[in-house]
Amino acid sequence: MLRAFSHTNGKCVFRNAKCWHRRKSVLAIRREDVNAWERRAPLAPKHVKELTQMGYKVLVQPSNRRAIHEKDYIKAGGIIQEDISEASLIVGVKRPPEDKLIPKKNYAFFSHTIKAQEANMPLLDEILRQEIRLFDYEKMVDRKGMRIVAFGKWAGVAGMINILHGLGLRFLALGHHTPFMHIGMAHNYRNSSQAVQAVRDAGYEISLGLMPKSVGPLTFVFTGTGNVSKGAQEMFSALPCEFVEPHELKEVSRSGDLRKVYGTVLSRHHHLVRKQDGLYDPVDYEKHPELYTSRFNSDIAPYTTCLINGIYWEQHTPRLLSRQDAQKLLMPVKSTSATIEGCPELPHKLLAICDISADTGGSIEFMTECTTIDSPFCMYDADQHTIHDSVEGSGILMCSIDNLPAQLPVEATEYFGDMLFPYIEEMLLSEGSEPLERQNYSTVVRDAVIASNGSLTAKYQYIQKLRESREYTQMLKMDNKKRVLLLGSGYVSGPVIEYLTRDSNVDITVASVTKEQLEQLTEKYNNITSVHMDIIKHEEKLNSLVKKHNLVISLLPYSAHPLVAKKCIDNKVNLVTASYLTPAMKELRESVEAAGITVISEMGLDPGLDHMLAMECIDKAKEVGATVVSYTSFCGGLPAPECSDNPLRYKFSWSPQGVLLNTVQSATYLKNGEIVNIPAGGAVLDSVTPMDFFPGLNLEGFPNRDSTKYAEPYGIQTAHTLLRGTLRYKGYSKTMGGFVKLGLISPDPYPLLSSTTPPLTWKELMCKLVGIKQPVEYDVLKEAVFSKLEKDQSQLEAVEWLGLLGDEPVPAADSIVGAFAKHMEIKLPFGTGERDMIVMRNEIGLEHPSGHLEKKFIDLVVYGDNKGYSAMAKSVGYPTAIAAKMVLDGEIDAKGMVIPLTKNVYGPILERVQAEGIVYSTHSIVKH
């Protein structure tokens, strides 16, 4: 197959391509943004220079993290530009975020999808959806299947430097200062030459005999013969070293010269033998690897100080080391002479493994997770089969960083770019939207196309089969499992997961748009799988997730629940939420009943526990013939008194936007037989009443939504007063009223705050809200705001305290209240060691058949844990989780829309929440 053009003496010679096509082609080097340590690029300035001299336009996304400075790319003819949408080919090193993909483009990067890696399947789905053509460097191979484009050598170089540094630390932990202490991590050196000099300096000390005698001769075993192994050997050779054959390792490990170190390179024939006859046949091994076993554990490992592993493991091939092997290798070595306390012998020969392949669960079976550049070492304790982040204690020092070349980014970039550059041209001359079969690619490039025009290419259609096979296997394994889909990963998710995973038969999938929260949850809890996605924007994916589960718990904003409920109806899956049963949800009542599913709402604190505590009291009253004549309920999530140190006297332990919007809702309640209506827009803040049932807390309350609608479901149509409200510390309502006056609680769309528009500062936004033109002096804006606040000094102080007159950027959002909520979450979080509290007071007036009146008081006060869950998270999360478990276990089997108003629902929940520290008290006052 002809290439589009080739190089002859540095000049471009076209083949089957037109000159005008070249001038139109644009290449973009994207910014690496997945890992903080990723400072490489796929092409260096010298490659950009050659491309621009050949007539191409090269865009380079700006990045202060990239190791090669932007000025070098500019000097080479590159254009530093954020917008890369005009490029036909976009190249990077690692995968881009799904939301940064541009449809119908050519992309080239390491996708890590060819084994149907579960973590990267959402990326592949998005590539297919957006009809992107994906070139994967990993599949750019020659006729022998050897990779042509790779960072392998520099992984080996960096890995060798790191493990020498790690050995210095490990020796020190075992009581020995060694020359390795003067070798740093690879990224501490400007380039490999500096690292080589540091290794040579350490080697010089070794050659002088400065290694402690009690550690014995050091031996290093290199597996593999490719670029990874060669790179590691190249750095190792800076030490005074002698390479020996594997069969000589035993002898030198016992009686070798302490003024040098020993290395051996291991190939297959050194350790692989057929189980039947103990022989190695390379042709037979390629056909039937399962018939072979490795003797590495018995013939090589006992005489190895440090293993540098550069080979990948494939199914049905022998592993180098198993957990059982490690247990035997870590058995204490019998001392051959009297030990001096200050000069201890090593506990065992095998001290360290540098698994440069970073192949988890691969040839080193017990290497189950990669280390990182931030935390490069861990200790594997074979007896306990545990891994701990340290260089101390018993076990083997492990180093298995999966992005080693990023530690030497400049040299790695130039090396990689040299290999990639000959293939850039033909990728660049095609458009991602054109059919693949029309492209005149070389075999190397064509075979690296994973996806094109919305489909997997023929060579990679097996990926879908692998996915389906894995999902089927997972389903089989989970046949006896109860599968829960949790939507949302915020404050409340922790208690929900913690409670449900007490049952080992419950598996939870958590789906959320917030990647950091997902990572924290998966690290903290067992039996959970995370899915990073925007649930609202990806309805098809949501539908696919729902159908695989027995129950959905939605902790999303209430506006998302109808969408989730429709997916549950379509797939006949039960649903639990903590939010109000809104009119939009009520419209689905008939569909829910027709589907034969259970949809539980109002299962949190307020609504939730307030209903349950009320109904428990009301039902008991009715049992003795009493009539309910009044019902008031006030509830609030607050900072503990000692933490209420800001103008709002409030901090956020749940959805900030929900808190803000609650202040501009309309409200309706019944007082002394009369209906009171409060319009939307902030008027509830003018209906504030002091609350002195706990005088020390200095509380105030205001009405919340429509209280009258609960007369019928509570069965208290006899009540002349019916009021539900929100509790806050005194002063909250006045301060919040100022924000309402300024228009900061507006939920209306505000395009100027979109992520696609230039960011505004708070000063600029406030100018727009008060109607004055920019530029403006601070004092002028302050006076305009003061006027808008009707000269209220405390409200102005709150505005200033929050920095709303300054130059801090306004967070991107769909509305002003959305941006304000994000800002408030940053400004008013709970600090380390601070706690929140929940206060609820129910007052129920009863008239008994005898004529005497009784006031029932139900108090609930819950404090957050300094190092655990917030009070709000517990008070919303545990009732939700308990209700979900009751649905899973069949305790709640009613079909249709359910809220916790019946004894069979609220009874068990009120009993079980007390075991979680949510304890309430009651007392009465009786008037005769």
DSSP 571-594: HT-EEEESS---HHHHTTHHHHHH
Q: In whole angstroms, how far apart are CA 542 and each of 305, 449, 484, 547, 779? A: 51, 28, 13, 9, 50
Residue 847 pairs in a beta bridge with 627, 853
**Helix 732-742 to helix 793-801 angle, to the nearest 10 degrees?**
80
- Number of C-beta neighbours around residue 442 at 10 A: 16
| H-helix or E-strand spanning residue 859 | strand 853-863
Contact 222, 211 (CB under 8 A): no
Tell me the pairing of strands 261-266 and 241-243. Answer: parallel
Q: Within 13 A of 785's CA, how many CA atoms are on the CB side?
A: 33
| H-helix or E-strand spanning residue 631 | strand 627-639
Phi, psi (5° rounding) for residue 273? Answer: -140, 150
Q: How far apart are CA 613 and CA 860, in angstroms?
A: 10
Instruction: Say which DSSP state 523 is in.
Output: H
Preceding peptide of 900 cis, ω within 30°:
no
Three-state DSSP state, 862 = strand
Q: Which of 51, 52, 830 is nearest to 421 (CA)?
A: 51
606: annotated active-site residue: yes
Measured between alpha carbons, how far apart are the two ends of the chain, in Å?
Answer: 102
Q: How far apart are CA 441 and CA 459, in angstroms?
A: 15
- Number of C-beta neighbours around residue 817 at 10 A: 24
DSSP 254-302: HH--TTSEEEEEE-HHHHEEETTTS---HHHHHH-GGGEEE-IIIIIGG
Tokens for 346, please give them.
Answer: 């090593």
Tell me the pairing of strands 219-223 and 89-91. Answer: unpaired
Angle at 18 between CA 15 and CA 23, to 5 degrees: 120
Q: How far apart are CA 644 and CA 636, in angstroms?
A: 14
Residue 598 pairs in a beta bridge with 896
Q: How far apart are CA 388 and CA 396, in angstroms?
A: 11
Contact 41, 68 (CB under 8 A): yes
Question: Assign residue 779 a region: left if phi > 0, alpha if psi is -120 to 50, beta otherwise?
Answer: alpha
Q: How far apart are CA 27 and CA 39, in angstroms?
A: 19
Tokens for 902, please give them.
Answer: 């019946």
Tell me the pairing of strands 292-294 and 306-309. Answer: unpaired
| H-helix or E-strand spanning residue 570 | helix 561-571
Three-state DSSP state, 878 = helix
Q: How far apart are CA 875 and CA 493, in angstroms?
A: 12
| H-helix or E-strand spanning residue 540 | helix 539-547
Q: How far apart are CA 788 and CA 779, in angstroms?
A: 14
Active-site annotation holder among 606, 748, 792, 814: 606
Q: Which of 483, 459, 460 is nearest to 471 (CA)?
A: 483
Instruction: Say which DSSP state 492 is in.
Output: T
DSSP 27-53: EEEPPP-S-TT----SS-HHHHHHHHH
> What amino acid is encoded at 109 in this protein?
F
Which residues are annotated as catalytic? 606
